[in-house]
């Protein structure tokens, strides 16, 4: 069991953990596919997204907006249609409308009373700015892929975050919904990890590459995590 008293900073993945990106992805991609007479179920759309996004993030660094633009183009290549310029930009443009999970804001406000809060996210600064307004807390630090010029699961993102936080790794707790992007690399660098299993009870791996890891703690949502941390201080 995790001893929450040892952590002075909690680092968070954002999209999929704090922000409901799967709903956001589907809201943008599903109508686009229907416009081109392509009918896929939600899990298929999310799994194609995971495949395309991961492939694009492994190459030479490009901004996340361009990653998402190319994801749309890859859907076109896969299903033999040519997206319009508006459609190509539609996925990245939709981020401004993506909403936090119902438990996110209250949990962050509670956790902020106990620890520094830090974001480590595969995103551009300007795109995260839209989400930051919805999260309603002031993060101590925000580390984006744009700043470090790489994408998780690259260890570079975590190493630069650890250096910036300037605390021993044993005093940092990383919280994320993606085993592939976050839990495995964070654990490899000695960070304690909490897997927020947002897809608990659902089929498939959703918008992330299926992976197996060993988090220090698994919770179904942030409310459960925040309650556990709060109780450890009572």
Catalytic residues: 13
Strand order from edge to edge, sheet including 9-12: 141-144, 116-121, 9-12, 172-176, 192-196, 217-219
> CA separation (Å) from 5 to 22, 100, 163?
33, 27, 21
Neighbours of 24 (CB within 10 A): 21
DSSP state of 85: H
Distance CA 81, CA 40 (A): 15
3-class secondary-structure state, position 168 = coil
Distance CA 202, CA 75 (A): 24
């Amino acid at each position: 069991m995790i001893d929450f008293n040892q952590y002075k900073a909690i680092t968070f993945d954002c999209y999929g953990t704090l922000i409901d990106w799967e709903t956001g992805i589907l809201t943008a991609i599903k109508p686009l596919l229907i416009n081109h007479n392509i009918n896929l179920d939600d899990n298929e759309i999310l799994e194609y997204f995971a495949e395309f996004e991961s492939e694009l993030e492994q190459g030479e660094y490009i901004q996340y907006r361009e990653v998402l633009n190319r994801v749309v183009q890859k859907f076109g290549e896969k299903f033999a249609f040519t997206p319009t310029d508006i459609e190509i930009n539609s996925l990245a443009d939709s981020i401004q409308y993506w909403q936090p999970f119902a438990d996110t804001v209250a949990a962050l406000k509670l956790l902020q009373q106990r620890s520094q809060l830090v974001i480590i996210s595969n995103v551009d600064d300007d795109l995260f700015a839209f989400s930051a307004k919805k999260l309603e807390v002031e993060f101590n630090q925000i580390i984006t892929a744009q700043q470090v010029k790489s994408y998780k699961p690259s260890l570079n993102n975590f190493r630069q975050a650890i250096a910036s936080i300037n605390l021993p790794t044993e005093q940092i707790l990383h919280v994320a919904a993606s085993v592939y992007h976050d839990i495995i690399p964070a654990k490899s660098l000695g960070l304690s990890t909490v897997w927020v299993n947002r897809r608990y009870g659902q089929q498939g791996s959703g918008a992330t590459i299926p992976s197996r890891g060993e988090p220090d703690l698994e919770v179904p949502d942030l409310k459960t995590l925040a309650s556990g941390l709060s109780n450890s201080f009572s």
